[in-house]
Amino acid sequence: MKIAYQGIPGSNSEAASVLFAQNQGFVAPEYLPAVHSRGVVDMLVRGEADYGVMATRNLIAGVVEESLEALKDFTYLTVDAQWLPVHHCLFVKDETVISFDCIASHVQALDQCRGNLLRRYPGVRQQEVEDTALAARYLAEGKLSPSTAVLCRKNAGEAFGLHLAAERLEDDPRNMTEFVLIKPIRLISKTVIVAGMGLIGGSMAKAIRKYTDCRVLGWNRTRSVAEQALSEGAIDAVAEEADFAVCDMLLPALYPRAALSLLERMIPRMKAGAQVVDLIGVKSAVVERVAPLAKSCGVRYTGGHPMAGLARAGYERSFADLFKGASMVLVPTEATEPGDVEELSRFFRGLGFGRIQVCSAEIHDRMIAHTSQLAHVVSNSYVKSPVSANYNGFSGGSYKDMTRIACLNEKVWKELFILNRDALLPEIDDLIANMSALRNAVAAGDEDALEALLREGREAKERIDSMNPDQPSD
Protein backbone atom coordinates (compact mmCIF):
# COMPACT_ATOMS: atom_id res chain seq x y z
CA MET A 1 0.00 0.00 0.00
CA LYS A 2 1.55 3.29 -1.11
CA ILE A 3 0.45 6.64 0.35
CA ALA A 4 1.58 9.89 -1.27
CA TYR A 5 1.49 12.90 1.05
CA GLN A 6 1.92 16.63 0.75
CA GLY A 7 5.30 17.51 2.26
CA ILE A 8 8.47 15.68 3.27
CA PRO A 9 9.35 13.49 6.28
CA GLY A 10 8.60 15.45 9.43
CA SER A 11 5.65 17.31 7.96
CA ASN A 12 2.14 17.40 9.42
CA SER A 13 0.85 15.51 6.39
CA GLU A 14 3.23 12.65 7.08
CA ALA A 15 1.89 12.44 10.63
CA ALA A 16 -1.66 12.43 9.23
CA SER A 17 -0.69 9.66 6.78
CA VAL A 18 0.49 7.44 9.61
CA LEU A 19 -2.78 8.01 11.48
CA PHE A 20 -4.87 7.24 8.38
CA ALA A 21 -2.91 4.04 7.75
CA GLN A 22 -3.59 2.92 11.31
CA ASN A 23 -7.29 3.77 11.02
CA GLN A 24 -7.62 1.83 7.75
CA GLY A 25 -5.62 -1.15 8.97
CA PHE A 26 -3.04 -0.88 6.18
CA VAL A 27 -0.24 -3.42 6.55
CA ALA A 28 3.33 -2.13 6.05
CA PRO A 29 2.33 0.99 4.10
CA GLU A 30 4.94 2.89 2.10
CA TYR A 31 4.88 6.68 2.54
CA LEU A 32 5.84 8.76 -0.49
CA PRO A 33 6.67 12.44 0.03
CA ALA A 34 5.34 14.63 -2.78
CA VAL A 35 6.06 18.13 -1.35
CA HIS A 36 3.09 19.76 -3.09
CA SER A 37 -0.60 18.82 -3.31
CA ARG A 38 -0.21 18.84 -7.09
CA GLY A 39 2.51 16.23 -6.70
CA VAL A 40 0.15 14.02 -4.70
CA VAL A 41 -2.47 14.19 -7.45
CA ASP A 42 0.12 13.53 -10.16
CA MET A 43 1.32 10.39 -8.37
CA LEU A 44 -2.26 9.14 -8.06
CA VAL A 45 -2.97 9.83 -11.74
CA ARG A 46 0.21 7.97 -12.81
CA GLY A 47 -0.66 5.03 -10.56
CA GLU A 48 2.48 5.48 -8.46
CA ALA A 49 0.41 5.70 -5.25
CA ASP A 50 -2.79 4.06 -4.07
CA TYR A 51 -3.86 6.84 -1.71
CA GLY A 52 -3.09 10.51 -1.19
CA VAL A 53 -3.00 12.70 1.92
CA MET A 54 -3.16 16.48 2.03
CA ALA A 55 -4.37 19.34 4.20
CA THR A 56 -7.63 20.95 3.13
CA ARG A 57 -8.41 23.62 5.75
CA ASN A 58 -7.31 25.09 9.05
CA LEU A 59 -9.39 26.58 11.86
CA ILE A 60 -7.32 29.77 11.87
CA ALA A 61 -6.11 30.22 8.30
CA GLY A 62 -9.07 28.71 6.45
CA VAL A 63 -8.93 26.64 3.27
CA VAL A 64 -5.64 25.41 1.85
CA GLU A 65 -5.80 26.93 -1.61
CA GLU A 66 -2.94 24.77 -2.88
CA SER A 67 -4.96 21.62 -2.20
CA LEU A 68 -8.22 22.99 -3.62
CA GLU A 69 -6.44 23.97 -6.81
CA ALA A 70 -4.84 20.54 -7.16
CA LEU A 71 -8.12 18.71 -6.60
CA LYS A 72 -10.46 20.83 -8.70
CA ASP A 73 -10.21 18.72 -11.87
CA PHE A 74 -9.37 15.39 -10.21
CA THR A 75 -11.94 12.63 -9.76
CA TYR A 76 -11.46 11.14 -6.31
CA LEU A 77 -13.16 9.62 -3.29
CA THR A 78 -12.54 10.90 0.24
CA VAL A 79 -11.88 7.74 2.25
CA ASP A 80 -11.26 9.43 5.61
CA ALA A 81 -10.92 12.92 7.09
CA GLN A 82 -9.40 13.91 10.41
CA TRP A 83 -8.88 17.16 12.29
CA LEU A 84 -5.42 17.05 13.89
CA PRO A 85 -3.90 19.47 16.44
CA VAL A 86 -1.08 21.46 14.87
CA HIS A 87 1.60 23.18 16.96
CA HIS A 88 4.33 25.31 15.43
CA CYS A 89 7.82 25.83 16.82
CA LEU A 90 10.52 28.28 15.81
CA PHE A 91 14.00 26.90 15.08
CA VAL A 92 17.30 28.60 14.27
CA LYS A 93 20.52 27.20 12.79
CA ASP A 94 22.24 26.68 16.11
CA GLU A 95 22.37 28.10 19.62
CA THR A 96 24.77 30.86 18.60
CA VAL A 97 22.01 32.54 16.59
CA ILE A 98 20.40 35.01 19.00
CA SER A 99 18.57 37.14 16.45
CA PHE A 100 17.17 36.66 12.96
CA ASP A 101 15.84 38.86 10.18
CA CYS A 102 13.53 36.38 8.43
CA ILE A 103 11.05 33.65 9.33
CA ALA A 104 10.50 30.99 6.66
CA SER A 105 7.70 28.42 6.43
CA HIS A 106 4.64 27.30 4.47
CA VAL A 107 2.10 30.07 3.93
CA GLN A 108 -0.50 28.24 6.03
CA ALA A 109 1.86 27.97 9.01
CA LEU A 110 2.73 31.66 8.74
CA ASP A 111 -0.97 32.55 8.63
CA GLN A 112 -1.72 30.36 11.65
CA CYS A 113 0.96 32.18 13.68
CA ARG A 114 0.69 35.65 12.17
CA GLY A 115 -0.49 37.46 15.30
CA ASN A 116 2.12 35.98 17.63
CA LEU A 117 4.91 36.49 15.10
CA LEU A 118 4.05 40.15 14.65
CA ARG A 119 3.90 40.72 18.40
CA ARG A 120 7.03 38.79 19.35
CA TYR A 121 9.17 39.50 16.30
CA PRO A 122 8.12 42.92 14.93
CA GLY A 123 9.89 43.96 11.77
CA VAL A 124 11.06 40.45 10.91
CA ARG A 125 10.11 39.65 7.32
CA GLN A 126 8.43 36.39 6.33
CA GLN A 127 9.37 34.05 3.51
CA GLU A 128 7.10 31.38 2.03
CA VAL A 129 8.51 27.87 1.51
CA GLU A 130 6.71 24.88 -0.05
CA ASP A 131 6.51 22.92 3.21
CA THR A 132 7.24 23.44 6.91
CA ALA A 133 9.62 20.48 7.18
CA LEU A 134 11.25 21.51 3.91
CA ALA A 135 12.01 24.92 5.44
CA ALA A 136 13.82 23.11 8.29
CA ARG A 137 15.82 21.05 5.81
CA TYR A 138 16.73 24.12 3.75
CA LEU A 139 18.07 25.86 6.85
CA ALA A 140 20.05 22.80 7.92
CA GLU A 141 21.54 22.40 4.43
CA GLY A 142 22.50 26.06 4.17
CA LYS A 143 19.95 26.89 1.48
CA LEU A 144 18.55 29.57 3.77
CA SER A 145 20.57 32.31 5.40
CA PRO A 146 21.90 31.51 8.92
CA SER A 147 20.03 34.62 10.04
CA THR A 148 16.74 32.93 9.10
CA ALA A 149 14.44 31.15 11.54
CA VAL A 150 12.00 28.46 10.40
CA LEU A 151 8.50 27.60 11.58
CA CYS A 152 7.77 23.86 11.66
CA ARG A 153 6.78 20.86 13.76
CA LYS A 154 9.04 20.18 16.73
CA ASN A 155 10.07 16.75 15.48
CA ALA A 156 11.04 18.19 12.07
CA GLY A 157 13.32 20.83 13.55
CA GLU A 158 14.94 18.29 15.85
CA ALA A 159 15.37 15.77 13.02
CA PHE A 160 17.44 18.30 11.06
CA GLY A 161 19.59 19.22 14.08
CA LEU A 162 18.23 22.76 14.51
CA HIS A 163 18.05 24.73 17.75
CA LEU A 164 14.63 25.33 19.33
CA ALA A 165 13.96 29.06 19.86
CA ALA A 166 10.23 29.11 20.73
CA GLU A 167 7.30 26.71 21.01
CA ARG A 168 3.54 26.82 20.32
CA LEU A 169 3.46 30.01 18.29
CA GLU A 170 0.03 29.37 16.75
CA ASP A 171 -2.40 32.21 17.45
CA ASP A 172 -4.99 29.84 18.92
CA PRO A 173 -3.78 26.99 21.17
CA ARG A 174 -6.67 24.92 19.80
CA ASN A 175 -5.22 25.21 16.29
CA MET A 176 -6.29 22.26 14.13
CA THR A 177 -5.97 21.30 10.47
CA GLU A 178 -8.18 18.95 8.52
CA PHE A 179 -6.35 16.30 6.51
CA VAL A 180 -8.03 14.01 4.01
CA LEU A 181 -7.19 10.54 2.75
CA ILE A 182 -8.24 10.25 -0.89
CA LYS A 183 -8.05 7.70 -3.68
CA PRO A 184 -8.78 8.05 -7.39
CA ILE A 185 -12.15 6.93 -8.70
CA ARG A 186 -12.04 4.56 -11.63
CA LEU A 187 -15.48 4.90 -13.21
CA ILE A 188 -16.85 1.84 -14.96
CA SER A 189 -18.06 2.30 -18.51
CA LYS A 190 -21.80 1.87 -18.99
CA THR A 191 -24.65 3.15 -21.13
CA VAL A 192 -26.58 5.93 -19.38
CA ILE A 193 -29.82 7.52 -20.55
CA VAL A 194 -30.55 11.02 -19.27
CA ALA A 195 -34.26 11.68 -19.74
CA GLY A 196 -35.04 15.40 -19.74
CA MET A 197 -32.42 17.73 -21.21
CA GLY A 198 -33.10 20.89 -19.25
CA LEU A 199 -30.63 22.60 -16.91
CA ILE A 200 -30.20 19.60 -14.59
CA GLY A 201 -30.44 16.86 -17.20
CA GLY A 202 -28.30 18.72 -19.70
CA SER A 203 -25.65 19.43 -17.07
CA MET A 204 -25.78 15.81 -15.90
CA ALA A 205 -25.23 14.55 -19.44
CA LYS A 206 -22.33 16.94 -19.98
CA ALA A 207 -20.74 16.00 -16.64
CA ILE A 208 -20.96 12.28 -17.41
CA ARG A 209 -19.44 12.87 -20.84
CA LYS A 210 -16.64 14.97 -19.36
CA TYR A 211 -15.72 12.91 -16.31
CA THR A 212 -16.47 9.29 -17.27
CA ASP A 213 -16.11 6.99 -20.24
CA CYS A 214 -19.80 6.11 -20.15
CA ARG A 215 -21.88 6.22 -23.32
CA VAL A 216 -24.50 8.94 -22.78
CA LEU A 217 -27.86 8.97 -24.55
CA GLY A 218 -30.25 11.88 -24.24
CA TRP A 219 -34.04 11.76 -24.33
CA ASN A 220 -36.37 14.73 -24.30
CA ARG A 221 -40.09 15.18 -24.88
CA THR A 222 -39.19 17.87 -27.39
CA ARG A 223 -36.79 15.87 -29.55
CA SER A 224 -35.16 18.95 -31.04
CA VAL A 225 -33.55 19.71 -27.67
CA ALA A 226 -31.92 16.26 -27.57
CA GLU A 227 -30.79 16.75 -31.18
CA GLN A 228 -29.23 20.07 -30.20
CA ALA A 229 -27.39 18.33 -27.35
CA LEU A 230 -26.13 15.74 -29.84
CA SER A 231 -24.92 18.40 -32.27
CA GLU A 232 -23.00 20.09 -29.45
CA GLY A 233 -21.37 16.87 -28.26
CA ALA A 234 -23.20 16.79 -24.92
CA ILE A 235 -24.49 13.26 -25.66
CA ASP A 236 -23.38 10.37 -27.84
CA ALA A 237 -26.81 9.76 -29.34
CA VAL A 238 -30.49 10.59 -29.04
CA ALA A 239 -32.21 7.81 -27.06
CA GLU A 240 -34.84 5.79 -28.89
CA GLU A 241 -37.54 3.67 -27.25
CA ALA A 242 -35.49 0.49 -27.74
CA ASP A 243 -32.51 1.97 -25.88
CA PHE A 244 -34.38 1.95 -22.58
CA ALA A 245 -34.45 -1.85 -22.69
CA VAL A 246 -30.67 -2.19 -22.90
CA CYS A 247 -29.30 0.79 -20.91
CA ASP A 248 -27.40 0.24 -17.66
CA MET A 249 -28.62 3.40 -15.94
CA LEU A 250 -31.58 5.74 -16.37
CA LEU A 251 -31.52 9.24 -14.89
CA PRO A 252 -34.90 10.98 -15.27
CA ALA A 253 -34.67 14.78 -14.90
CA LEU A 254 -38.23 15.65 -15.96
CA TYR A 255 -41.15 17.42 -14.32
CA PRO A 256 -42.31 15.17 -11.45
CA ARG A 257 -45.49 13.83 -13.05
CA ALA A 258 -43.81 13.39 -16.43
CA ALA A 259 -40.97 11.49 -14.75
CA LEU A 260 -43.44 9.20 -12.99
CA SER A 261 -45.24 8.53 -16.27
CA LEU A 262 -41.96 7.73 -18.03
CA LEU A 263 -40.73 5.44 -15.25
CA GLU A 264 -44.01 3.52 -15.04
CA ARG A 265 -43.86 3.00 -18.79
CA MET A 266 -40.15 2.15 -19.13
CA ILE A 267 -39.18 0.21 -16.00
CA PRO A 268 -41.08 -2.94 -17.12
CA ARG A 269 -39.05 -2.84 -20.36
CA MET A 270 -35.64 -2.41 -18.70
CA LYS A 271 -33.25 -5.31 -18.26
CA ALA A 272 -32.88 -6.94 -14.85
CA GLY A 273 -30.15 -5.30 -12.79
CA ALA A 274 -30.36 -1.96 -14.58
CA GLN A 275 -30.31 1.05 -12.31
CA VAL A 276 -32.66 4.01 -12.01
CA VAL A 277 -31.87 7.20 -10.08
CA ASP A 278 -34.51 9.88 -10.43
CA LEU A 279 -33.35 13.50 -10.19
CA ILE A 280 -36.67 14.88 -8.93
CA GLY A 281 -36.98 17.42 -6.11
CA VAL A 282 -39.61 15.51 -4.13
CA LYS A 283 -39.16 11.95 -2.93
CA SER A 284 -42.03 10.34 -0.98
CA ALA A 285 -44.59 10.74 -3.75
CA VAL A 286 -42.13 9.32 -6.28
CA VAL A 287 -40.68 6.49 -4.19
CA GLU A 288 -44.05 5.09 -3.14
CA ARG A 289 -45.04 4.61 -6.78
CA VAL A 290 -41.71 3.67 -8.36
CA ALA A 291 -40.02 1.44 -5.78
CA PRO A 292 -42.59 -1.42 -5.77
CA LEU A 293 -42.67 -1.45 -9.57
CA ALA A 294 -38.89 -1.48 -9.87
CA LYS A 295 -38.55 -4.27 -7.32
CA SER A 296 -41.11 -6.41 -9.10
CA CYS A 297 -39.23 -5.95 -12.38
CA GLY A 298 -35.76 -6.65 -10.94
CA VAL A 299 -34.63 -3.08 -11.58
CA ARG A 300 -32.52 -1.30 -8.96
CA TYR A 301 -34.00 2.03 -7.94
CA THR A 302 -32.61 4.73 -5.64
CA GLY A 303 -34.07 8.20 -5.24
CA GLY A 304 -31.79 11.12 -6.00
CA HIS A 305 -31.78 14.90 -5.78
CA PRO A 306 -28.83 17.03 -6.95
CA MET A 307 -28.72 20.15 -4.77
CA ALA A 308 -27.64 22.51 -7.51
CA GLY A 309 -29.25 24.82 -10.02
CA LEU A 310 -29.58 28.34 -11.37
CA ALA A 311 -32.33 30.92 -11.07
CA ARG A 312 -33.34 30.25 -14.67
CA ALA A 313 -33.50 26.80 -16.23
CA GLY A 314 -33.19 25.40 -19.74
CA TYR A 315 -30.71 23.29 -21.70
CA GLU A 316 -29.01 26.41 -23.06
CA ARG A 317 -27.80 27.23 -19.51
CA SER A 318 -26.52 23.74 -18.71
CA PHE A 319 -22.81 23.10 -18.19
CA ALA A 320 -20.68 20.17 -17.04
CA ASP A 321 -19.47 21.70 -13.79
CA LEU A 322 -22.85 22.77 -12.41
CA PHE A 323 -22.48 20.16 -9.66
CA LYS A 324 -18.94 21.01 -8.53
CA GLY A 325 -18.91 20.94 -4.72
CA ALA A 326 -22.70 20.48 -4.47
CA SER A 327 -24.54 17.91 -2.36
CA MET A 328 -26.19 14.88 -3.91
CA VAL A 329 -29.02 13.40 -1.86
CA LEU A 330 -29.52 9.65 -2.20
CA VAL A 331 -32.67 7.98 -0.90
CA PRO A 332 -32.44 4.16 -0.63
CA THR A 333 -35.67 2.30 -1.37
CA GLU A 334 -36.93 -1.27 -1.22
CA ALA A 335 -35.50 -1.65 -4.74
CA THR A 336 -32.01 -0.49 -3.72
CA GLU A 337 -29.58 -3.43 -3.68
CA PRO A 338 -26.68 -3.85 -1.21
CA GLY A 339 -23.72 -1.84 -2.42
CA ASP A 340 -25.80 0.48 -4.62
CA VAL A 341 -25.41 3.50 -2.35
CA GLU A 342 -21.62 3.08 -2.27
CA GLU A 343 -21.48 2.60 -6.04
CA LEU A 344 -23.68 5.63 -6.69
CA SER A 345 -21.70 7.72 -4.22
CA ARG A 346 -18.53 7.04 -6.18
CA PHE A 347 -20.32 7.76 -9.45
CA PHE A 348 -21.72 11.14 -8.39
CA ARG A 349 -18.54 12.21 -6.62
CA GLY A 350 -16.82 11.53 -9.88
CA LEU A 351 -19.10 14.07 -11.52
CA GLY A 352 -17.96 16.76 -9.08
CA PHE A 353 -20.41 16.49 -6.20
CA GLY A 354 -18.67 17.43 -2.98
CA ARG A 355 -20.99 15.65 -0.56
CA ILE A 356 -23.30 12.65 -0.63
CA GLN A 357 -26.23 12.90 1.80
CA VAL A 358 -28.10 9.64 2.42
CA CYS A 359 -31.53 9.83 4.06
CA SER A 360 -35.10 8.56 3.96
CA ALA A 361 -37.73 9.98 1.63
CA GLU A 362 -39.55 11.53 4.60
CA ILE A 363 -36.46 13.33 5.90
CA HIS A 364 -35.62 14.54 2.40
CA ASP A 365 -39.06 16.03 1.88
CA ARG A 366 -39.17 17.68 5.29
CA MET A 367 -35.74 19.27 4.84
CA ILE A 368 -36.33 20.35 1.24
CA ALA A 369 -39.66 21.91 2.21
CA HIS A 370 -37.70 24.21 4.52
CA THR A 371 -34.38 24.79 2.73
CA SER A 372 -35.69 25.06 -0.83
CA GLN A 373 -39.45 25.19 -1.29
CA LEU A 374 -40.18 27.67 1.50
CA ALA A 375 -37.43 29.95 0.15
CA HIS A 376 -39.23 29.99 -3.20
CA VAL A 377 -42.53 30.73 -1.45
CA VAL A 378 -40.95 33.72 0.29
CA SER A 379 -39.25 35.04 -2.84
CA ASN A 380 -42.38 34.66 -4.92
CA SER A 381 -44.47 36.53 -2.34
CA TYR A 382 -41.91 39.24 -1.62
CA VAL A 383 -41.36 40.31 -5.22
CA LYS A 384 -45.11 41.00 -5.76
CA SER A 385 -44.96 44.26 -3.80
CA PRO A 386 -45.71 47.28 -6.03
CA VAL A 387 -42.59 48.91 -4.58
CA SER A 388 -40.29 46.24 -6.08
CA ALA A 389 -40.16 47.75 -9.54
CA ASN A 390 -38.42 50.86 -8.15
CA TYR A 391 -35.66 49.05 -6.23
CA ASN A 392 -32.78 50.39 -8.36
CA GLY A 393 -30.64 52.74 -6.31
CA PHE A 394 -32.23 51.67 -3.04
CA SER A 395 -30.73 48.20 -2.59
CA GLY A 396 -27.50 46.61 -1.53
CA GLY A 397 -27.45 42.84 -1.90
CA SER A 398 -30.54 42.08 0.17
CA TYR A 399 -33.15 42.73 -2.50
CA LYS A 400 -31.35 40.67 -5.13
CA ASP A 401 -30.76 37.83 -2.66
CA MET A 402 -34.45 37.75 -1.77
CA THR A 403 -35.80 37.94 -5.32
CA ARG A 404 -33.31 35.90 -7.35
CA ILE A 405 -35.26 32.64 -7.18
CA ALA A 406 -38.59 34.29 -7.97
CA CYS A 407 -37.60 33.56 -11.59
CA LEU A 408 -38.83 29.99 -11.20
CA ASN A 409 -40.48 27.66 -13.67
CA GLU A 410 -44.04 27.72 -12.34
CA LYS A 411 -45.00 24.52 -14.17
CA VAL A 412 -42.33 22.56 -12.29
CA TRP A 413 -42.70 24.23 -8.93
CA LYS A 414 -46.49 23.88 -8.77
CA GLU A 415 -46.00 20.11 -9.00
CA LEU A 416 -43.24 20.11 -6.40
CA PHE A 417 -45.35 22.17 -3.97
CA ILE A 418 -48.45 20.00 -4.37
CA LEU A 419 -46.61 16.67 -4.22
CA ASN A 420 -44.81 17.80 -1.06
CA ARG A 421 -47.63 19.74 0.58
CA ASP A 422 -47.69 17.61 3.75
CA ALA A 423 -44.17 18.84 4.53
CA LEU A 424 -44.48 22.32 3.00
CA LEU A 425 -47.69 23.53 4.68
CA PRO A 426 -46.32 23.40 8.27
CA GLU A 427 -43.29 25.40 7.11
CA ILE A 428 -45.53 28.07 5.57
CA ASP A 429 -47.65 28.15 8.74
CA ASP A 430 -44.58 28.64 10.93
CA LEU A 431 -43.35 31.43 8.66
CA ILE A 432 -46.72 33.20 8.82
CA ALA A 433 -46.78 32.91 12.62
CA ASN A 434 -43.27 34.35 12.95
CA MET A 435 -44.02 37.21 10.55
CA SER A 436 -47.29 37.93 12.33
CA ALA A 437 -45.47 38.27 15.65
CA LEU A 438 -43.08 40.79 14.09
CA ARG A 439 -45.95 42.66 12.45
CA ASN A 440 -47.88 42.89 15.68
CA ALA A 441 -44.87 44.27 17.55
CA VAL A 442 -44.30 46.91 14.86
CA ALA A 443 -48.00 47.84 14.75
CA ALA A 444 -48.09 48.22 18.54
CA GLY A 445 -44.87 50.23 18.64
CA ASP A 446 -43.60 47.68 21.18
CA GLU A 447 -39.84 48.17 20.95
CA ASP A 448 -39.03 45.69 23.70
CA ALA A 449 -41.03 42.92 22.04
CA LEU A 450 -39.59 43.78 18.63
CA GLU A 451 -36.04 43.78 19.97
CA ALA A 452 -36.62 40.38 21.60
CA LEU A 453 -37.99 38.91 18.37
CA LEU A 454 -35.10 40.25 16.32
CA ARG A 455 -32.63 38.94 18.89
CA GLU A 456 -34.23 35.50 18.69
CA GLY A 457 -33.69 35.48 14.94
CA ARG A 458 -30.06 36.61 15.22
CA GLU A 459 -29.31 34.02 17.89
CA ALA A 460 -31.02 31.31 15.85
CA LYS A 461 -28.81 32.19 12.86
CA GLU A 462 -25.68 32.14 15.04
CA ARG A 463 -26.63 28.71 16.43
CA ILE A 464 -27.24 27.38 12.92
CA ASP A 465 -23.83 28.60 11.75
CA SER A 466 -22.07 27.19 14.81
CA MET A 467 -23.64 23.80 14.09
CA ASN A 468 -22.54 23.97 10.43
CA PRO A 469 -19.03 25.49 10.49
CA ASP A 470 -18.19 24.01 7.09
CA GLN A 471 -21.08 25.72 5.33
CA PRO A 472 -22.24 28.85 7.14
CA SER A 473 -25.36 30.20 5.49
CA ASP A 474 -24.16 33.80 5.39
DSSP 179-231: EEEEEE--PPP-EEEEE--SHHHHHHHHHHHHH---EEEEE-SSHHHHHHHHH
Neighbouring C-beta atoms of residue 113, cutoff 10 Å? 26
Class of domain 191-367: alpha beta
| Least confident window among 233-242, 282-291, 327-336, 378-387 | 378-387
pLDDT score recorded for residue 471? 65
Mean pLDDT over residues 381-395, rounded?
Answer: 84
Domain boundaries, the chain: 2-85+180-184, 89-175, 191-367
Please state, in angstroms and rounded to a whole number, the distance separating the CA atoms of residues 85 and 308. Answer: 34
Please state, in angstroms and rounded to a whole number, the distance separating the CA atoms of residues 343 and 351. Answer: 13
Q: pLDDT tens, 167-199? A: 999 999 889 999 999 998 766 579 999 999 999
pLDDT score recorded for residue 188? 58
The amino acid occupying position 29 is P
Which pLDDT band, with edges at 50, 70 and 90, does 81 fall under? Answer: very high
The amino acid occupying position 181 is L
Yes or no: say if 200 and 320 are a contact pair by the CB < 8 Å rule: no
For residue 473, pLDDT beyond 80:
no
Beta 176-184 vs 191-195: how paired, if at all? Answer: unpaired
State if pTM tops 0.75.
Answer: no
The kind and range of the H/E element at 342 are: helix 340-350
Please state, in angstroms and rounded to a whole number, the distance separating the CA atoms of residues 353 and 325. Answer: 5
Query: What percent of the chain stands above pLDDT 70?
Result: 98
Q: Who has greater pLDDT, 83 or 312?
A: 83
Which pLDDT band, with edges at 50, 70 and 90, does 233 fall under? Answer: very high
Mean pLDDT over residues 332-351, rounded?
Answer: 92
- Which of 238, 294, 288 is closest to 263 using CA atoms? 294
pLDDT score recorded for residue 325? 87
DSSP state of 337: P
For residue 84, pLDDT beyond 70:
yes
Q: C-alpha 471: how far from its chain's center?
A: 9
Does this chain's domain 2-85+180-184 share its CATH topology with 89-175?
A: yes
pLDDT score recorded for residue 462? 85
For residue 469, pLDDT beyond 80:
no
pLDDT score recorded for residue 378? 92
Neighbouring C-beta atoms of residue 448, cutoff 10 Å? 8
pLDDT score recorded for residue 210? 87
For residue 10, pLDDT beyond 70:
yes
Strand order in the sheet with 191-195: 237-238, 215-219, 191-195, 249-252, 275-279, 300-307, 327-331, 355-358
* Assigned architecture for domain 89-175: 3-Layer(aba) Sandwich (3.40)
pLDDT score recorded for residue 186? 62
- Which of 308, 281, 340, 299 is closest to 204 using CA atoms? 308
DSSP state of 234: S
Q: pLDDT tens, 113-151? A: 999 999 999 999 999 998 999 999 999 999 999 999 999
Class of domain 2-85+180-184: alpha beta
For residue 219, pLDDT beyond 70:
yes
Cβ neighbours of residue 126 closer than 8 Å, sequence gap 6 or more: 102, 103, 104, 105, 110, 117
Q: pLDDT tens, 12-48? A: 999 999 999 999 999 999 999 998 899 999 898 888 8
Cβ neighbours of residue 60 closer than 8 Å, sequence gap 6 or more: 111, 112, 170, 171, 172, 175
Mean pLDDT over residues 293-320, rounded?
Answer: 92
33, β-bridge pairs: 5
Yes or no: say if 5 and 37 are a contact pair by the CB < 8 Å rule: no
Average pLDDT, the chain: 92
Yes or no: say if 276 and 252 are a contact pair by the CB < 8 Å rule: yes
